[in-house]
Chain A
Amino acid sequence: MTDELLDRVKLLTLWPREFARVFQPIYGDVLSVHPDPPGRFALKNDMPRGVIGAGGWYLGDTVDAALWESVLRDVEPDDDGGVYLDRSVLAPYALQWVRIRAKGEILRMEHPARRHVVNASNVRLNAKWDQLVAEDIYPLTHVAAGLVQLQFHFGLMELPGISWRSRQSDAGIVHLFYDPPSNRSDWEMLGIPVPLASDDGIRLIRDALTAANMVLLTDPVLTGGTPDPAAL
């Protein structure tokens, strides 16, 4: 097959641990999947033909990774390092920690674990994956995930999820689990959700930007002045 994105099909163990998740409470609690995620490596029905679509559940192993792969993924700093995220745009989102109780399995595309499925000598395929994890056009990554699922099905295996090193936040690893990734009871919620538009949520975003030498711009309604009522 010329469409193979892996040199071999193999899942690696995901040991019990904690993850941060940015999610939309409108779709349920932090353990609920997004029914039709638009993000990276989402599986869409028949894309390409034969692919079985799935919901998506994105997790980060750090808060920064979770934020950069969600609400921060589309923004770039201006010349002064400033980033503007309107609070209303953040309002649908919250962040919460979760823990997997039992060990699971996942396709790991971050280095060096990637060597299990893509030979280090396969420069062409490694370059392709390096581009996919940073790709701005998400439908292309949907096709890639679909091709991977077809390759797994060809080997009579299911694809429960993919992990990769975030190109948005190099220190973090992002994990995408497909619905159903595993038994819901294998997971537990930790703490309470932090709405990203709240003071605590803004602090998390500000910290993530600061770590990248960027600055969250102040809400200009507070600092931009009050127009004179009679001003022309």
Chain B
Amino acid sequence: MTHAAEEKHWASLEVPSHGGQVQYAHGDIHQLSRRRASSGVYLRVIAEAQALTKPVIAELDGVAEKILHQAAHASARRVIEGYWEKNTSVMDFVYERGKQLRPVAPSEFAEVVEAWTKLFHRAGAQLGPPYIIQLERAGSMGSLAQVWDDLARTIDTAMEFPATARHNSASVAAPADPADARRTTLLALNWPTSIEVGRRAGSTSRNVAQWAKDKRDAGQLLGAWSSSERTYRHPGFQFNDDGSLRPEVRDLLATLAGNPAWSNISDANGWRRTYWLYQPFRSLNRRTMAFCPNVLHAVNDNPNDAAAVLDSYLLDDAPENRVARTPADVFAENPQAVIAFARAEVASALSHTEVPPVPHD
């Protein structure tokens, strides 16, 4: 096995036959395909994927459903049945959409994985077929038909929950591509959709989601587009505990819109502003925010006094007060400070066009 094949670019869905929950994971192929069943049967769908995103989860779900339920059902079972009868504990197969399952001998497994890894990297790390299908069993099992029905029931039950809830399961690992990880992480917070925001606001409209759209269009609510769900999610810091919209959000968004890059038009999917609002800044730590420059001005007449004040601040070493915070963190307790911080950030961004140049020496 080459080093490339060992990189963490694999995602898996594990379906137990005995009524447990489906599990998603992302990581090394050996870890994902490791034999670990103490009892029961597990069906695993494993695919190349750079991160465990909702589209990837949906893809894995789709393959499992297809194999267990749809057209592939009969043919897949036929292929597996031959191995099942031999009492094999682990069976590996390759699955390509529209084709039959192809068994992979244990001796070929590493070679197949390596070949796919090469293909994966050449193709720009997009999730794509084929998939590894693994069936593992431990203990004496009944007929394959019975196990198949049990597996199908487990996946049916799982599909009744929205993808977001499944994505939040503890078994889900962090996505592997940190350049986009913040969006995945934030979407996993299960922020309210337009419908949920409208309901919380008490909208009685037949189209309850319209309330959120109207607020977004009016610059009173920030939405972050979720491509996989084809809907907006609304960052949680904008709401009071009772779900009502905080009135200061309007001023914050108006301030941010002073930067042309952060308007509803140039930031239509809302993620530039959302990324900034969830970026930790050192200058938003509690110690820095509590500092009042007037303290220094009051003692400026006497260098000894200024030195004493300096010492008192430098000695204040409570680590928790020095932890960087995000604008979204601070907004809950001090929205005006966040608005002022945003104003300074916008002014800085515009400074190359608004401040006249200083003559050279």
Contact = CB atoms under 8 A, between A and B. Distances in A.
Nearest to B209: A232
Interface stretch (A83-91, A104-112, A158-166): A83-91
B303 A47 contact: no
Contacts of A25: 352
Given A136-B322, A220-B183, A1 B352 contact: no
Interface in A185-207: none
A232 B314 contact: no
B276 A86 contact: yes
Contacts of B355: 26-27
Contacts of B308: 2
A28 B360 contact: yes
Contacts of B195: 232
Contacts of A232: 194-195, 207, 209-210, 212-213, 231-232
A144 to B, nearest CB: 6
Interface in A30-83: 31-32, 35, 46-50, 73-83
Interface string A160-180: 000000000000000000001
B301 A49 contact: yes
Contacts of B359: 28
B232 A231 contact: yes
Contacts of A83: 279
Interface in B13-33: none
Contacts, number: 203
Contacts of A77: 280
Interface stretch (A10-18, A113-121, A222-230): A222-230
B225 A80 contact: no
A218 interface: yes
A224 B271 CA distance: 7
A26 B357 contact: yes
B360 A82 contact: no
Nearest to B293: A139
A135 interface: yes
A143 interface: yes
B231 to A, nearest CB: 6
B110 interface: no
B104 interface: no
B181 A80 contact: yes
Chain B CB count within 10 A is highest, among A50, A79, A131, A220, for A220
A184 interface: yes
Given A76-B324, A88-B261, A215 B179 contact: yes
Nearest to B175: A80
Contacts of A80: 174-175, 178, 181-182, 185
Given A28-B358, A136-B285, A221 B266 contact: yes
Contacts of B194: 232
Contacts of A99: none
Contacts of A102: none
A217 B182 contact: yes
Contacts of A140: 291, 296, 310, 313-314
Contact of B279 (A2, A78, A131, A143): A78
Chain B CB count within 10 A is highest, among A27, A32, A81, for A27
A86 B297 CA distance: 34
Contact of A217 (B179, B324, B348): B179
Contacts of A217: 178-180, 182, 275
Given A77-B280, A92-B352, A220-B275, A227 B306 contact: no
Contacts of A1: 303-304
Contacts of A73: 282
Nearest to A195: B352
A71 to B, nearest CB: 10
A12 B280 CA distance: 38
Contacts of B300: 46-49
Contact of A82 (B182, B224, B348, B357): B182
Interface of B: 174-175, 178-183, 185, 194-195, 207, 209-210, 212-213, 224-227, 230-232, 259-262, 266-272, 274-276, 278-283, 285, 287-288, 291, 293, 296-297, 299-311, 313-314, 322, 324, 345, 348-349, 351-352, 355-361
Given A28-B359, A82-B182, A217-B179, 19 more contacts: A3-B303, A3-B307, A24-B352, A32-B358, A47-B306, A75-B279, A78-B181, A80-B182, A83-B279, A92-B352, A128-B314, A132-B314, A136-B283, A136-B288, A184-B361, A217-B178, A224-B269, A225-B225, A225-B269
29 contacts: A3-B304, A24-B352, A26-B351, A26-B352, A28-B358, A35-B358, A47-B297, A78-B278, A78-B279, A80-B181, A80-B182, A81-B178, A87-B261, A88-B260, A92-B352, A136-B282, A139-B291, A139-B293, A140-B314, A143-B307, A146-B306, A215-B179, A215-B181, A220-B275, A221-B271, A224-B227, A224-B271, A228-B230, A232-B213
Interface of A: 1-3, 5, 24-29, 31-32, 35, 46-50, 73-84, 86-89, 91-92, 128, 131-132, 135-137, 139-140, 143-144, 146-147, 150, 180, 184, 215-221, 223-228, 231-232
Sorted nearest first, the 8 A-B pairs with minimum C-beta distance are: A220-B271, A225-B227, A3-B307, A92-B352, A232-B209, A224-B271, A88-B261, A80-B181
